[in-house]
Amino acid sequence: MPQLYSPANPYRHFMLPVTHGHEIYVEETGNPKGIPILFIHGGPGAGLSTDYSKQFDTNIYRIIGFEQRGCGRSTPFASIENNTTQDLLNDIHALREHLHIDKWILFGGSWGSTLALLAAIAAPEHTLGLILRGVFLGREQDIHWYIHPQGGAGQLYPEHYEAFVQDVGYLDTTKEICDAFFTLFNQKNKFAKANALRAWYGWEERISRIQHPYGDPLYNYDLHQVASLAMLECHYLKNDCFIPDNYILDNIHAINHIPGMIVHGRYDMICKLESSYSLQQIWPNSQLTIVPDAGHSTSEPGIAFALKQATDTMYKIIDIN
């Protein structure tokens, strides 16, 4: 397998005021005169990892990373006020204009793939290409797969699902599950609130990859990230991701001419492979790489290497004129 690039330090970072009192953290890495590529993190609420630039040739790309409303270094922290999918898309538009970029590549994994697809559909004239990992289409069936007891993830990881819903019980609908957790997240009992936040975060972490070589991922967790990911992910799923069901597939024709490279782990338990497969079937200018022996996480070698290969290929096939 090819080697990944070494993670690079940002050459610039700043806070960008957007709307309704929110400010988003932005950083730039790589070649300031390179091909602009926007890195859109997952979650919602995950924030930027410290090594996300390892998949990019920093001589070729101008890598722009930002932390979405309410997470990471963006402020106010963990806020769900004026925090919807459309708000995030507006922020992406505002960031592109602030940086005086006409066209860029959109790179997103999981929830980041949702935003990348929506941003491209909304502004194909500003999109050079898309690189997507673990596609999440935001449909009711995708939410059901992830958090419902009869969904695929719960059926394949029943012991972890039991730990996930220990404080809310086995409920009938995804909305009831989200409502129950949302109530716990907003209670005054700090101990119970922290337990609920860890339960939500732990569910995602425990099923995110096939193997956890360092044991239970909750032994080394960042409480800051736990809070933002649990709060914001629950908020978005509770509201059907603020998009009509099947919106992305129904509107993919808007980007038929734009190249797309899709990477998906065969055993992804968070975002089912069917999503990427269905997308690729109706997007004629896209390619799907299914990574065997891999789940959802970019920390799995097969996923990371496939994404590096995608970035190494994309700049050769896009039309930068």
CA 30, CA 205: separation in Å to the nearest integer? 29
Residue 122 has pLDDT above 70, yes or no: yes
- Which member of 148, 235, 264, 296 is catalytic? 296
Residue 294 has pLDDT above 80, yes or no: yes
Dump pLDDT digits (tens) for 4-33.
899 899 999 999 999 999 999 999 999 999
| Three-state DSSP class for residue 102 | coil
Residues 6 or more apart whose CB falls under 8 angstroms from that of 281 comprise: none
CA 91, CA 61: separation in Å to the nearest integer? 21
Query: Is 312 part of the annotated catalytic residue set?
Result: no
Residue 312 has pLDDT above 60, yes or no: yes
- Which member of 53, 79, 110, 275 is catalytic? 110
Element (H, E) at 196: helix 190-206
Predicted confidence at residue 136, as pLDDT, reads 99
Q: 290 has which bridge partners?
A: 264
Dump pLDDT digits (tens) for 126-149.
999 999 999 999 999 999 999 999
Predicted confidence at residue 211, as pLDDT, reads 81
- Which member of 74, 268, 275, 286 is catalytic? 268
**What tokens were used for 65?**
């990373």
Dump pLDDT digits (tens) for 236-252.
999 999 999 999 999 99
pTM: 0.96
How far is CA 268 from each of CA 14, 137, 193, 292, 303, rounded to the nearest angstrom? 34, 14, 29, 10, 11
Query: Is 253 part of the annotated catalytic residue set?
Result: no
Residue ranges covered by each domain of the chain: 12-136+245-317, 141-241
| DSSP state at residue 171 | -
Element (H, E) at 154: helix 152-156
Longest dimension (CA), the chain: 57
- The answer to whether residues 235 and 44 touch, using CB atoms and an 8 Å cutoff, is yes
Peptide bond into 292 cis (omega under 30): no
Dump pLDDT digits (tens) for 193-227.
999 999 999 999 999 998 876 555 555 567 888 99
Dump pLDDT digits (tens) for 251-260.
999 999 999 9
Query: Is 296 part of the annotated catalytic residue set?
Result: yes
Q: What are phi and psi of 159, to 5 degrees?
A: -70, -35
CATH 3.40.50.300 fits 12-136+245-317, yes or no: no
